[in-house]
Amino acid sequence: MAEDDSYESILCVKPEVHVYRIPPRASNRGYRAADWKLDEPAWSGRMKIIAKGKLAYIKLEDKNTGELFAQAPVEQYPGSVVESVTDSSRYFVIQIEDGNGRHAFIGLGFADRGDSFDFNVALQDHFKWVKQEGELAKQEASESTAPKLDLSFKEGQTIKISIGNIKKKEAGGSKARPMAMGLLPPPPGAKPCSLTQLRRVGRFHIRRLQLQ
């Protein structure tokens, strides 16, 4: 999907910052805020960081009217457009542009270290997001150009499935357990016979057999 570069979002707002004229860099050792006239800022006002697409814009505005004093387009951070000084965490050197190709370096200072911390984190978070979006776009592009794996069956193609280790059940099913042999219980209501009664019955049957 195409990115909408006309959409702007505010990343950070600080109501009071100070701008300083800075001397040319004397060597590659970096800028030092101690070399500036910190008690004589050239301008004071409000600072905004605006995100527009992949770019971030540091805007310096009049705190009452909102009139733009200067702005610095930032394409990457850390980078040459925004540079920390070597002797303080509250001061930075930024490269401003006038829209006609001309640029200049100015000193930017915060009265509170918390404000300078927020300024730093806002830029870091934005360009971390830009990096993640770029990696995601590369991944999607590589996936769209890679040949897709065709797993569909071709005409006349079959597949065999081998299923092992399955035991068949015996055809007769489970065998009935043999009942234990023994005397059956007497019918309901029958009185058990005593040994004497059994003997009498036995003599009666023997006598009948003798008479026949």
| DSSP string computed for the chain | ----TT-EEEEEEEEEEEEE--PPP-STT---GGGS-TTS-SEEEEEEEEEETTEEEEEEE-TTT--EEEEEEESSSSSSSEEE-SS-SSEEEEEEE-SSS-EEEEEEEESSHHHHHHHHHHHHHHHHHHHHHHHHHHHHHHHHHSPPP--SPPTT--------S-PPPPTT-SPPPPPPP-PPPPPTTPPPPPHHHHHHHHHHHHHHHHH-
Phi and psi based region of residue 199 (left: phi greater than 0; alpha: psi -120 to 50; beta: remaining) = alpha
What is the reported pLDDT for 26?
73
CATH number of the domain bearing residue 84: 2.30.29.30
CA-based torsion, 53, 55, 56, 57: positive or negative: negative
Does 93 map to a domain? Answer: yes
Query: Around Cβ 91, how many Cβ atoms within 10 Å?
Result: 23
65: its two tokens: 């009217």
Distances (CA, A) of 44 to 51, 61, 111, 129: 23, 9, 11, 31
Does 196 map to a domain? Answer: no
Does 73 map to a domain? Answer: yes
CA angle 156, 158, 162 (to 5 degrees): 165
- Which residue from 73, 57, 79, 53 is spatially nearest to 134, judged by alpha carbons? 53
What is the reported pLDDT for 207?
54
Does 135 map to a domain? Answer: yes
The answer to whether the predicted template modeling score (pTM) of the entire model surpasses 0.85 is no
Domain count, the chain: 1
What is the reported pLDDT for 1?
40
What is the reported pLDDT for 88?
95
What is the reported pLDDT for 140?
80
Note down pLDDT in tens along the chain; length 212 residues.
Answer: 445 566 899 999 999 999 999 998 877 788 999 999 999 999 999 999 999 999 999 999 999 999 999 999 999 998 999 999 999 999 999 999 987 888 999 999 999 999 999 999 999 999 999 999 989 888 887 777 767 666 676 666 777 776 766 555 554 555 555 555 555 555 555 555 555 555 665 555 555 555 55
Question: Rounded to an integer, what distance in angstroms lies between the CA atom of residue 51 and that of residue 3?
Answer: 13
Residues 6+ apart with CB under 8 A from 50: 8, 9, 10, 11, 56, 57, 59
Does 32 map to a domain? Answer: yes
Does 110 map to a domain? Answer: yes
Domain of 42? 8-144
What is the reported pLDDT for 16?
96
